[in-house]
Every structure is written in C-alpha cells, then in structure tokens.
A and B are shown apart, each in its own frame.
Chain A
Amino acid sequence: EPEVTQTPSHQVTQMGQEVILRCVPISNHLYFYWYRQILGQKVEFLVSFYNNEISEKSEIFDDQFSVERPDGSNFTLKIRSTKLEDSAMYFCASSERSGGVNQPQHFGDGTRLSIL
C-alpha cells in the first residue's frame, strides 16, 4: 500500500537555526498537510497546501514557518529560526482530494524535532 514518507525520523537542531522537514506524499494525492504534536499534547493542524499554494493555515503557522513543493514529489516544511517551543513531532499527511469524510488523510510516521 502506498505510504507517506518523512525524513529524517529525528532532527536535532540548535535554537535559532533553520530546519527543513521533508515529506514525500502519496503520488496521486493532491492535498498536503502538516501537523505537529508537542509531547503529551494533542495533534495540532499547521497548514494545508493545494495547487502549489497554501489553502489554509492555523495561528501556529506564523512567519517563521513556510512550506514548499520544490518538485513533483517532495513537500517540505521550513522553520526559519527555531525556538525551544518548536520541539515536537511533526506529521505530514496527504489526501487524494480535499480531506472530506470519504477521503481520509494518510499520515507519515513523523519527524521528531528536538531544539537544544
């Protein structure tokens, strides 16, 4: 079964540094998403992306965050200047069409980001 893949599985970065998290969505999917999960807390929506532009974003997704689909397969999340509170598990997801009830989102295994 096709999978969403994320790399790296664990990223350790010094505070203030830039970090790029990478995702390869399922190949025929058109909608892409990033979520984060701070340890012990709930999964939070960050941003959705369709047709090479952001379609929706949450309050968490401020100016230090950006997303990009640099080629036909990758979908990246960049954090420009990391803060301690950015430490979390970041999940990428994709769906074939807009995530309606009959089009569930498929999640990757996540990247654990640790900011020192």
Chain B
Amino acid sequence: GNSVTQMEGPVTLSEEAFLTINCTYTATGYPSLFWYVQYPGEGLQLLLKATKADDKGSNKGFEATYRKETTSFHLEKGSVQVSDSAVYFCALSDRPGGSYIPTFGRGTSLIVHP
C-alpha cells in the first residue's frame, strides 16, 4: 500500500534560517506528490505539488523536488518567517480504483522564533 513518512517535529528555527522538512514515500503506482500546510486553528491548504519525476513545485518561497530515485519530496525554504509557523503535511495521490484520495504523512510542526 501507499505510505508517507515525514521527519518528526517540532522543527524550531530562528527567523531567516534555512528550512528542510524531509518526506519519503512508498507507492504502488506513479503518484503525484503534495505539501499541505495547516496554520493554527485552520484547515489544510495545498502549498505546492509535483506530478512527475524531477518536477519542482514551488509557492510562497517554498520548494520541493520530486525525486523518484530516492522516493523523496523534501520541503525547503531559504529564509523562514515567523508567519511560516504551522504544521506541514506531505501527501501522495495515485489512482487505485479510479480516485485520487491522498495519503498523508503525520505532519511536521514548524516553529519560527523572531
């Protein structure tokens, strides 16, 4: 079956530090990969996605590259801000039985201090 493994949090950084949140996956097919973000008290929002190998998804300064050879989709940002404090979920989606139901990781909490 499909699964997503994320690094455990919380990740605590100072403002303007470099961020990496690791994500690896196992999938039976050729999945699409996603990062979702959940700000405090809110629902999940799609942050970025990549649909095939070597694609790079990017949004709001965040980037992640689909690495098929290492089955990874690590999230990076060059300079984090306090407003980036949230929980980040890596997810994959393929099409078993004809529907795209995402499989989520456990989430990684990011805390950014001023």
Contact A42–B99 (Cβ < 8 Å): no
How many chain A residues touch the partner (CB < 8 A)? 24
Q: Is A91 an interface residue (CB 8 A)?
A: yes
Separation of A48 and B97 alpha carbons in the complex (Å): 13
Which residues of the other chain, B, contact A45 by a CB distance below 8 angstroms?
101-103
Separation of A6 and B44 alpha carbons in the complex (Å): 13
The tally of CB-CB contacts under 8 A between chains A and B is: 56
> Interface extent on B, as a size class?
20 to 34
A86-103 toward B: CB 8 Å interface, digit per residue (1/0)? 000001010000111100
Q: Report if A91-B43 is in contact (Cβ < 8 Å); known contacts: A43-B89, A45-B102, A101-B51.
A: yes
Interface residues of B (CB under 8 A from A): 4, 32, 34, 36, 41-46, 49, 51, 89, 93, 97, 99-107
